Amino acid sequence: MASTRRPRRPGEADRPPNGTSAGRPTSRDVARQASVSQATVSLVLGGKWQGRVSPRTAETVRTAARELGYRPNLAARSLRLGRTRTALLVVPALTHDYFARVHAGASHVAEEHDFGVVLYPSPAGTGPAVDPFGSARAALDGVIASSMAADALAALGEGGLPLVMLDTDPDSDRAAATVNLDIADGMRQAAGHLLGLGHRRLAHLAAAVDTWTFRERARALTDTVAEIPEASVRTEASALDIEDALRAATRALTACPRPTALVCDDDLLAAGACKAARRLGLRVPEDVSVTGFDDLSLATALEPELTTVRLPAEEVGAAGMRALLATLEGRAADAPVLPVRLVRRGSTAAPSATDAPGS
């Protein structure tokens, strides 16, 4: 009779009538098994039993937990704690090596702090993320966003969660913290390297993506070239894929006079550029030098290997996670600007005599 009045507990039908639960064991089951209270179980397993629970009891609890194969229910813990120890990492694409490495760096730091990272590859690339909070079905403590366009961040700002931005306009004020790369310096190094080699007619294979990081690359290149009067740079825009890069590079290399060096916004574009050169019967680096950016694994898969700007992707991810952790703890996060480094490989050389200035 009484049972007809009592609301049925969810999953009740799945449970046997006796006291032992059939499903996943709960802390209650552990408590019963160890003949202690649930609170004691929580204390012991939470590692805060020192001076509150006798070592003997603690050991009993741990044994019981092990025997039952107990795993705490994270949903319940999150609900109780109001925090989930989970961060969302929003990236434009996963197929791009760089972001995979950012993720690795962030995960590593997260793990050290018993945090989790869930990835949200924004379906719209660098564009507005549709609904990261709904789709990433996890309950979140904070968000880290990498290389996103400004309007994409607007959507992220709506979440009401602490936001750390990576490789994004440092003047934006949406974020609680930022981690940046010295993109401009990287481009200066690349351009300086080519100019130093004697190149004067450069072409810029520019990524047709409207984000801070690419605007920065364009600006730095223009500025660096402008310092040498005889030097010039033309720009060809390309989508961030090999095929389009091939087309853009072909346009650049069939211009008259032909540039002696191609400065590419990304290793992917550089790969397209090498392909284009080869198809036009030009040798890299003898006839045309090519530089990339990012130092993806692709850079050393090519022959010759790419001279490119190495970005410390893992470090970026790690610093991002550290900044988020700091923010979450109410500490001020520093806003590092990480240095980048030109890696000289086989795809660049001095221009050949016939192409040299003055000829």
Partner DNA sequence: CTGAAAGCGCTAACAC
Partner DNA sequence: GTGTTAGCGCTTTCAG
In this complex, which beta carbon is closest to its own copies, that of residue 255 or of residue 301? 301
Closest C-alpha to 270, from 204, 193, 342, 201? 204
Closest C-alpha to 262, from 297, 236, 240, 231? 236
219 scored as a contact of its own copies (CB under 8 A):
no
In the complex, minimum distance from the CB of residue 300 to its own copies, in angstroms, rounded to a whole number: 6
In this complex, which beta carbon is closest to DNA, that of residue 50 or of residue 95? 50
CA distances from 12 to 17, 23, 73, 79 (A): 9, 10, 17, 21
The site that binds its own copies (CB under 8 A) totals a number of residues, namely 55
68 vs 32: CA distance, rounded Å = 11
248 scored as a contact of DNA (CB under 7 A):
no
| Alpha carbon distance, N-terminus to C-terminus of the chain | 103
Task: Name which of DNA, its own copies, none residue 51 binds, using a CB cut-off of 5 to 8 Å depending on partner kind.
Answer: DNA
275 scored as a contact of its own copies (CB under 8 A):
yes
138 scored as a contact of DNA (CB under 7 A):
no
The secondary structure of residue 94, as a DSSP letter, is S
Cβ neighbours of 46 (radius 10 Å): 10
The site that binds DNA (CB under 7 A) totals a number of residues, namely 41
In the complex, minimum distance from the CB of residue 252 to its own copies, in angstroms, rounded to a whole number: 17
Bridge partners (DSSP) listed for residue 177: 164
351 vs 42: CA distance, rounded Å = 70
3-state secondary structure of 86: strand
In the complex, minimum distance from the CB of residue 136 to its own copies, in angstroms, rounded to a whole number: 6
Task: Name which of its own copies, DNA, none residue 298 binds, using a CB cut-off of 5 to 8 Å depending on partner kind.
Answer: its own copies
The pairing of strands 308-310 and 341-343 is antiparallel
In this complex, which beta carbon is closest to its own copies, that of residue 210 or of residue 243? 243
Cβ neighbours of 18 (radius 10 Å): 7
In this complex, which beta carbon is closest to its own copies, that of residue 141 or of residue 216? 141
Task: Name which of DNA, its own copies, none residue 279 binds, using a CB cut-off of 5 to 8 Å depending on partner kind.
Answer: its own copies
95 vs 103: CA distance, rounded Å = 12
8 scored as a contact of DNA (CB under 7 A):
yes
Backbone angles phi, psi at 177, to 5 degrees: -160, 160
77 scored as a contact of DNA (CB under 7 A):
yes
**Residues of span 205-224 touching DNA by CB under 7 A:** none
359 scored as a contact of its own copies (CB under 8 A):
no
DSSP states along 166-232: ESS-TT--S-SEEEEE-HHHHHHHHHHHHHHHT--EEEEEEE---SHHHHHHHHHHHHHHHTSTT-E
Stretch that binds DNA, among 22-30, 153-161, 235-243, 291-299 (CB under 7 A): 22-30
Which parts of this chain interact with DNA (CB under 7 A)?
Answer: 4-11, 21, 23-24, 26-28, 35-43, 45-46, 48, 51-54, 56-57, 70, 72-73, 76-77, 79-82
Contact residues: its own copies, CB under 8 A = 10-11, 24, 69, 71, 73-76, 78-82, 84-86, 94-95, 97, 100-101, 103-104, 107, 111, 114-116, 118-119, 121, 133, 135-139, 158, 160, 242-243, 268, 271-272, 274-275, 278-279, 297-298, 300-303
